[in-house]
A and B are shown apart, each in its own frame.
Chain A
Amino acid sequence: EAGVAQSPRYKIIEKRQSVAFWCNPISGHATLYWYQQILGQGPKLLIQFQNNGVVDDSQLPKDRFSAERLKGVDSTLKIQPAKLEDSAVYLCASSISTGGYYGYTFGSGTRLTVV
């Protein structure tokens, strides 16, 4: 089974620029998550999709972050404008069930550096 695909692997941008990350979950996984992992910390949920609808975006900084999951398959996370504190690894995960009963599968992540 193919894993969760993410691109790009690395991105360096200047503050106030915009950036977008892409994620393609495992085929058949209805639930998709975006996590932010700051160096030395555990990942923190940004947004959860069930098919193409948002289940939870309570921790997403909506003034600068946006995400969409058109057609309920792949997803894009955007930051505009970026701040220095957005430097982190952005992880995409998917699960076959809404509640994560069978666990979560994570992608390799996108490492963002804002300078």
Chain B
Amino acid sequence: KQEVTQIPAALSVPEGENLVLNCSFTDSAIYNLQWFRQDPGKGLTSLLLIQSSQREQTSGRLNASLDKSSGRSTLYIAASQPGDSATYLCAVRRYGGSQGNLIFGKGTKLSVKP
């Protein structure tokens, strides 16, 4: 059974700091991995999608890496801003089973202080 864990559960940093959010998964047989952002009371906004054959993806100040063999992904946020405050969720799309079933972690709640 695929399980996704995100550490830390919460993180508070001063503005301008570079930071790393971690995501680990128990079954390396994944199709892809997606990072989402969720603002309080809102839906999910897709940040980055990494296919299983890729090592990393970048978008602006965000960089996500994927190491399938070790079951890990990291989301790197450069020069953090108060507007980055949100909950960040990672989700893996697994092979087999339900074709579209994304397995989510519980998220990391990020707070960037001005």
Contact = CB atoms under 8 A, between A and B. Distances in A.
A99 B100 contact: yes
Interface residues of B, number: 26
A99 B31 contact: yes
Contacts of B32: 100-101, 103
A45 B49 CA distance: 19
Contacts of A6: 43
A75 interface: no
Sort chain A's interface into a size bin: 20 to 34
Contacts of B101: 45, 48, 56
B46 to A, nearest CB: 6
Interface stretch (A12-20, A36-44, A64-72, A80-88): A36-44
B104 interface: yes
Given A104-B46, A107-B43, A48 B98 contact: yes
A31 interface: yes
A74 to B, nearest CB: 17
Interface of B is mostly: strand
B43 A100 contact: no
Interface string A38-67: 001111110010000001101000000000
A55 B34 contact: no
Interface string A71-115: 000000000000000000101010100111111111111010000
Nearest to B93: A100
A103 B104 contact: no
Contacts of B61: none
Nearest to B91: A42
A98 B36 CA distance: 20
Interface in B16-30: none
Interface of A: 4, 6, 31, 33, 40-45, 48, 55-56, 58, 89, 91, 93, 95, 98-109, 111
